[in-house]
Each structure stands twice: as C-alpha cells, then as structure tokens.
Amino acid sequence: MLQPTQLSSPITLGDLKKRQRDEADDENEYEELPHNLGRALKRSKQTSGSPDNNGFPTPKTDPGASEIKPSFKTSEFKSGIPYPENEATEPDPWLAYNFPTHEQCEEVFALLSQTHGRIERPERPPPPSHTYAGCGEVKDILDGLLRTRLSANTSGGNAGKAIAGLVAKYGVAETGAAKGSVNWEAARQLSQEELELAIKCGGMQKQKSKDIKKILDMVYEDNLEKRKFIEENSNKKDDSLTLPGGISSADFSMEDLLDINYLHALDTLAVEAKLKSFPGIGLKTAQCVTNLNMGRPRIAADTHIFRIVKWLGWPKPPPAVNELTAMDHLNVRIPDPLKYGLHQLLIRHGKACARCGGRLGMDNERWEEECVIEHLVQRVGHRLVGVDGVKVVRKGASRGKAKAKAHVKNEDASDEEYMSE
C-alpha cells in the first residue's frame, strides 16, 4: 500500500518575515525544483462514468442518495496525519460538497510526488534572477507582484527576456527592498513608452507596461502619504501608529517608498484584496504572490490545476462552477501543508503527462504512456478521451480563438501557459 509522504510542519508568520529579511548572498545554495520525471506507477483500470458537455465527469452516486459523490476510490489510502485547521479563507461556495477529503488530497500528492519528485517550499526565497521572471518567488513583495504580471499570458522564455530587458534599461537596485533585482524606482521615474520598449520581447508590452507603471506610481504615492502621516504624528508617545489601511508604522519603511512588505502583517484575504486593487491584477496573480512570495498556503486558479482537479471530481459539477469558484472551494478543502506542493505538482503533471495535457488526444504518439493518477480521473473535453475511449468535444470549442483575443487586459480572463510555473 502506498504510504503518504512525510509533511513538514506549518510555517509561522515570524518564520516568513525572518526569511524575507535574510539576505541571499549565494545563488548556488538554492536548488531548482525538480525537473526530471521519475518512473510512473503502474496504472489501474479507469473508473467508469458518463461525461457531460461542460468538461466535467458525472460522478457515481449511491443508490437512494441525493448528494453527488465523486467516483474515485481512496478507501485503502489511510494516513492518520492530523492536520491543523486551515487559515481563515473565503467562504466555501459548496458547503455540502465534502470533497476532496484529506485522504484524497494526500493520495494525489503522494502519487505525483513519486512521479515528478518531492516539492517542498524553500526555506527562503531565492535571489532575484536577471533572466528569469518566475511567478513571485523572490524576497520582495512588489518585485514578486511585477514579475508575476510579466509572466501572465506568455511563455517562461519570453517573460525572462522581459526581465532581462528591464535590467538592461534600468539597471539593478543597489538598495531597498528589491535590492539585487530590477531598479523599479528608475522604471517609475521614466515614461511608460520607455518601459514598453524594455519589455517588448515579452509580449503584451503595451498593456503590461501600462499596468506596471500605474502600480509603481500608486505604491509610491500611497507610501508617500503614509510617511507624511508618520512625520506629522511623530510627536505622540506611542511607539507605533496605526496608518491608513490598518498598517502599523512599525512595519512600514520610511526610506523605501516602493516597499510594500508591510503586507506581511495582514491576513491572507486582506493581502489579496490589496493586491487586486492594482490595475491588471486579478485573483490568480494575487494568489500566486501570497503563495510563492509570501509563503501563505494557497492554491491559485491555474489552467492546468483546474483541468486536472475537475477530472478528479474535486470541484462540484456544473453549471455553477468556474476556475475561481473551484479554487475558493479547494482552498477550504485542501489541507494547508499540502497546498504548495499540490500547486506545483498539478502544474508539472498537466505539462508533462501525455494524457493529462490540455491539448493532447488519442492521436498523440505518447498516449500509451502511463499516467500515475489514471485510476482516479475521468477525462472529458475537447480533443480528450472520455470514458470507454469515447471522444468528447466541449460545446463552444470552436469559439475558443475568438474568445482568447478578447482576454488580454486582465490575467484572470485568460488561460496562461506560464502563470504559475
């Protein structure tokens, strides 16, 4: 019987803030997340069921029961790991839908870890790269936010070229919260047109430069107001002041007006609300930042993740489901210690597996390769094989290209290739 992978203990806010303050002097001490695939487990017989036209399997139901239940079998997977209660999250849109269970999450986590390698959150974020954008996994929050915005709707290579273009144009910050990364203050002081040229090789440069310039200006003006408030009230006897927005002056940097690392003092939902107030930033980007930059236990609404979890039957079936409601549900149901690993593993699997890739079908020459979660999924959708080898095409699939052209301004409106790699 497959044994669960040993899980690390939860990370405290104090640990996270200490990690954010630590200077990363040696790039070589950080290891990249595993890229080599291990040997896949022998797959079991696929479960049966009937696909619908919305890309979801129709789960099996118990005779006489009115509640829909997923069709996967996890009765032999028992861990007994006691999980602490999850951090406060958004309300679950489907309170009566009690899936996935902790055991189901652990089983998928263990299977994917055996195939794609064990993924653990690094002890501290790696140093900022000058040729790789990433999705927020750097020390500084604003740097992570802007890198994530650059990574949306493009490939990893193009996003990296955009970062290289920014470094070539503005240089590297020698001081401040983003020390060692792009000199964002220099970018703020120059025009949007110059910023657009610097990131042209990354794609969508007009919209992204507009968003980035506005974000930099908004952060600067907001921090300027906070600093002015502190200076005007500095004669008070209190050791710290409560600034507009509920921020303590003890967490605020008076020197760096592009420093928003005071957000570490806020709860996760408040941080995401603040990040979403910036132009071009939706829930996907905000959750990537809270997860990968700030170390909060979150799963973002990535395209690969959404595709696989609906084949697993984890979100409630249509009609009232989309990527965002599904992630609201999963952030409540999935244990916090598993979220970082599952976030990365589901994306890796969605890109590497010949059967779970979004654009692959039975005509793919790799279709006969084994899938480690074959016995847990029911695949349906455009160009994908459904139950009993029947091809199923989603309604409206032919309209995909036309719809994609309209989804360029906000990252939540599109299916990005690289958003959460």
pLDDT digits (tens, 9 = 90+) for 5-48: 333 344 444 443 444 444 334 333 333 332 222 322 333 333 33
Measured CA to CA in angstroms, residue 97 lies from 79, 317, 326, 353 at distances of: 22, 10, 12, 28
Show the 3-state SS of 228-279.
HHHHHCCCCCCCCCEECCCEEHHHCCCCCCCCCHHHHHCCHHHHHHHHHCCC
Instruction: Report the alpha-carbon distance of residue 188 to residue 312 in Å, rounded.
Output: 45
For residue 54 the two structure tokens come to 């919305």
Structure tokens at 4: 């669960």
> pLDDT > 70: what percent of the chain?
68
Residue 266 or 354, more confident: 266
CA 386 to chain centroid, in Å, comes to: 28
Query: Is pLDDT at 325 greater than 50 in this prediction?
Result: yes
Q: Which of 72-76, 88-92, 193-197 is predicted most confidently? A: 193-197
Cα 281 to Cα 148, 286, 297, 359, 411: the distances in Å are 9, 7, 19, 27, 7
Q: How many CB atoms lie within 10 A of CB 191?
A: 11
Q: Is the pLDDT of residue 56 over 70?
A: no
Q: Does residue 341 surpass a pLDDT of 70?
A: yes
> What pLDDT does 361 receive?
57
Q: What is the pLDDT of residues 254-270, one digit of tens each?
A: 999 999 999 999 999 99
* Residue among 379, 351, 349, 305 at smallest CA distance from 100: 305
Residue 222's pLDDT is 96
Tell me if 88 sits within 8 A of 267, measured CB to CB: yes
pLDDT > 80? residue 62: no
Does the pLDDT value for residue 337 go beyond 90?
yes
Give the residue ranges of DSSP H helices in 313-417: 323-333, 336-352, 400-406
Which range has the worst mean pLDDT, 191-195, 216-220, 274-278, 308-312? Answer: 308-312
* Residue pLDDT, tens place only, 224-253: 999 999 988 877 656 678 887 788 888 999
Any long-range contacts for 383-392 (C-beta under 8 Å, 24+ apart)? 383/359, 384/358, 384/360, 385/355, 385/361, 386/51, 387/46, 387/48, 387/49, 387/50, 387/51, 387/57, 388/48, 389/362, 390/51, 391/361, 391/362, 392/51, 392/53
Question: Helix, strand or coil for residue 184?
Answer: helix
Question: Is residue 415 over pLDDT 90?
Answer: no
Q: Residue 318's pLDDT band (boundaries 50, 70, 90)?
A: confident
Dump the DSSP string for 105-153: HHHHHHHHHHHH------SSPPPPPSS--TTS-SS-HHHHHHHHHHHTT
Q: Return the closest-CA partner of residue 300 out of 277, 316, 276.
A: 276
Q: How far apart are CA 34 and CA 36, in angstroms?
A: 6
| Separation of alpha carbons 360 and 307, rounded Å | 13
Preceding omega of 100 cis (within 30 degrees of 0): yes
Q: Retrieve residue 315's tokens.
A: 């979100």
Residue 319: asked if its preceding bond is cis (omega within 30°), the reply is yes
Pick 141-294's CATH classification: 3.90.550.10, 1.10.340.30, 3.30.70.1560, 2.40.40.20: 1.10.340.30
Q: Which residue has the higher pLDDT, 25 or 212?
A: 212
pLDDT higher at 355 or 176: 176
pLDDT of residue 195: 97
**Range from 125-139, 172-186, 290-304, 378-392 that averages highest in pLDDT:** 172-186
**pLDDT at 329 > cutoff 60:** yes
- Of 58-72, 140-154, 268-282, 341-355, minimum mean pLDDT range: 58-72
Arithmetic mean of pLDDT over the chain: 76
Best CA proximity match to 154, nearest among 215, 193, 199, 184: 199
- The confidence score (pLDDT) of residue 324 equals 87
Residues of the chain with CATH 1.10.340.30: 141-294
Q: Are strands 57-58 and 242-243 parallel, antiparallel or unpaired?
A: unpaired
More confident residue, 126 or 246: 126
- The whole-angstrom separation of Cα 44 and Cα 60 is 18
Identify the pLDDT of residue 248.
87
pTM: 0.72
What is the CB-side half-sphere exposure of residue 299 using CA atoms within 13 A? 31
Q: Given the structure tokens 């995909």, which residue do they identify? A: 400
- The kind and range of the H/E element at 51 are strand 50-51
More confident call, 235 vs 117: 117
pLDDT > 60? residue 391:
no
Q: What is the pLDDT of residues 158-197, one digit of tens each?
A: 999 999 999 999 999 999 999 999 999 999 999 999 999 9
Q: Environment class of residue 9 by beta-carbon count within 10 Å: exposed (0-12), middle (13-18) or buried (19+)?
A: exposed
More confident residue, 383 or 88: 88
